[in-house]
Amino acid sequence: MKRSERMKAQSPPLREHGLTWLAIVVLGVGFAMALFYAETDQQGHVQRLFYIHMPSFFGALLAFSITVYASLRYLRSRDVKWDRLAVVGVEVGLLLALINLVTGAIWARPIWATWWNWDPRLTWDAIMILTYAAYGVLRGAIENVETRRRFAAVYGILAIFTAIMTLIIIRIRPDTMHPAVIGPSAQEARGSFDASPTMQITLLVNLLGWALLLPIVLMRWRYRLQQMSERLEQLRQQWFEA
Amino acid sequence: MKITFVQAVMLILRRDLIFDIRNRQRLWIIFLFAILNTFVFSFALELQHILRREVVVGVFWTTILFASLLGFERQGSEGSRQRMSQAIKLAPLPRLAIFYGQLLANWLITLCLLLFTVLLQSGLFNARLWHMDFWLASLLGSLGLVTIGTTLTTMFSHISVRVGVMSVLLIPLILPILLTCVRFTLATQSELPVRNEWVALLVLQDIILLILTSWLYPHLIDE
């Protein structure tokens, strides 16, 4: 690791803290708006989960897209920083996808009268999570560091196939129960609602928090942690060699 | 002597098929597993006349998936095949020709497995699997399966801890295709006309996977 990189790893820049505080404030405001400002419809208070459920999916999608970009850059340049970013994208994306899945299940219990059904959107979402979980297994199973990075980059790009399909499946399959937020829902969809102006503003604030700021902040911190753990490993090896 | 892309593909295809026929180990595993899996499902679910018609499609595709999985696992761990692949990398052949040759060989073997399983399960379960749309589902579904399988097999030879890894990597990626195949095949079993959306979805998935894997394959083999 170069000296400049080492310095960066040791002291987080001010803008990193600034971004983190901004994310905390936006998420806090979004949460308060979801609880106290936005109206509800006939679904009752459970509908407020939507402000976390939908934005967290787009946050996951952003993180997975960053993985694809970083993997592409890694395959071209073989620069370790892109591999680091790809791993971080998968981890943060997986966390947000799990939040999306869990909030969806809690919402479904009173609205669909079940925690889970094998609806196309839900099934694809679960497949997407399993695919990205397998990414970690792949990395753990290859000893050669360069090969591990190369193969993980390939798998990281392949895995976006499941994320794309999760996104578009409710447009392809008319038999889905999952309501569409943008555009008309399928005929069999249950749980759709018309967004009032207060709902729309609340959704926008939460989208900013969950789908943009939170993934970026989490990825930045996780990236720094990864840098530091690599540095620690390097020092440990040097110490053993000495 | 310069050979064309198609000639290179055919060369790899021929080499892989000859290797599998001479070696026989992979073929034995795949076909024997298909029989065993059919028996296991038959005993585990105690398939009776009415139940059979409803579950046979699921049993069929599960058999194909797991038998292929074993085949890919075997393919990726054979020492002699790995040495041969190392040698092939040195040959002045286009990287994509190697990929398409291997893919076609795997597809042919999977189609043989499909035919064998259809014969077996049609006989044992007295099911109606001989249908034009059913073969369309099989062709498209198996193409998606071998596209992912061939790509992952290339990775598999570099993996140090192999037990279970192939299943964990392949199954999530293949589930969407399996899901579509099962629904499509179920639609062919009913008297209702088959919905075109299943064909479209399978074609879309196959195209996405073929484009992605064709582009990524050279990165897998060039160290």
Average pLDDT over residues A78-106: 94
Chain B from 63 to 122: CB within 8 A of any A CB: none
CA-nearest residue to B217 within chain A is A154
Q: What's the mean pLDDT when you consider all of chain B? A: 84
Residue position matching structure tokens 């198609």: B6
Question: Cα separation of B24 and A200, whole Å?
Answer: 63
Q: Dihedral, CA atoms, A91, A96, A98, A103, nearest 10 degrees?
A: 170
Model ipTM? 0.75
pLDDT at residue number B135 = 85
A44: distance to nearest CA of chain B, Å?
34
A172: distance to nearest CA of chain B, Å?
8
Question: Cα separation of B82 and B80, whole Å?
Answer: 5
Question: Cα separation of A181 and A194, whole Å?
Answer: 9
CB pairs under 8 A between A and B: 78
Question: Cα separation of A164 and A237, whole Å?
Answer: 41
B125: distance to nearest CA of chain A, Å?
27
- List of chain A residues whose C-beta atoms are within 8 Å of the C-beta of residue B219: 75, 150, 153-154
Please say if the pLDDT value at position A81 is more than 90.
yes
In angstroms, what CA-CA distances link A97 with A101, A123, A134, A184, A232? 6, 13, 14, 24, 30
Nearest to B68 by CA among B161, B160, B159, B173: B173
| Structural tokens at position A89 | 């994208």
B176: distance to nearest CA of chain A, Å?
7
Q: How confident is the model at residue A5 (pLDDT cuts 50, 70, 90)?
A: low
pLDDT at residue number B126 = 76
CATH number attached to the domain at A17-35+46-180+195-226: 1.20.120
The answer to whether the CB atoms of A131 and B155 lie below 8 A apart is no
Q: Dihedral, CA atoms, A57, A58, A60, A66, nearest 10 degrees?
A: 160
CB contact B192 to A (< 8 Å): no
| A66 three-state secondary structure | helix
- List of chain B residues whose C-beta atoms are within 8 Å of the C-beta of residue A75: 219
The answer to whether the CB atoms of B176 and A165 lie below 8 A apart is yes
Burial class (CB in 10 A: 0-12, 13-18, 19+), A224: middle
Q: Dihedral, CA atoms, A33, A35, A41, A45, nearest 10 degrees?
A: 160
Q: Where are the beta strands (DSSP E) in chain A?
A: none
> Under a CB-based contact definition with an 8 Å cutoff, are residues B144 and B177 in contact?
yes
CB-closest option in A75, A140, A151 to B155: A151
Amino acid identity, residue A137? V
Please say if the pLDDT value at position B165 is more than 70.
yes
Helices (H), chain B: 5-23, 25-44, 49-77, 79-90, 95-125, 132-156, 165-189, 196-221
Q: So where are chain A's domains? A: 17-35+46-180+195-226
> Under a CB-based contact definition with an 8 Å cutoff, are residues B129 and B118 in contact?
yes
B97: distance to nearest CA of chain A, Å?
19
Question: Cα separation of A57 and A99, whole Å?
Answer: 8
The answer to whether the CB atoms of B169 and A164 lie below 8 A apart is no
Query: Among A42-51, A152-161, B74-83, which is the least confidently predicted range?
Result: B74-83
Mutation to test the A interface, candidates B95, B186, B192, B219, most A Cβ within 10 Å: B219
Residue-wise pLDDT for B96-120, tens only, equals: 899 999 999 999 999 999 999 998 8
Average pLDDT over residues A53-82: 94
| Structural tokens at position B190 | 């009913």
CB contact A82 to B (< 8 Å): no
CB-closest option in B151, B159, B176 to A142: B159
CB contact B153 to A (< 8 Å): no
Q: How many domains does chain B have?
A: 1
A5: phi then psi, degrees, rounded to nearest 5:
-65, -40
Residue-wise pLDDT for B33-70, tens only, equals: 999 988 888 887 776 666 766 788 888 899 999 999 88
Question: Cα separation of B176 and A112, whole Å?
Answer: 24
Residue-wise pLDDT for A15-25, tens only, equals: 678 889 999 99
> Under a CB-based contact definition with an 8 Å cutoff, are residues B139 and B22 in contact?
no
CB contact A27 to B (< 8 Å): no
The helix (H) or strand (E) run that includes residue A63 is helix A50-77
Query: Among A10-24, A116-130, A172-186, which is the least confidently predicted range?
Result: A172-186
Average pLDDT over residues B135-156: 89
CB contact A73 to B (< 8 Å): no
A209: phi then psi, degrees, rounded to nearest 5:
-75, -55
CB contact A19 to B (< 8 Å): no
Nearest to B201 by CA among A97, A124, A54, A61: A124
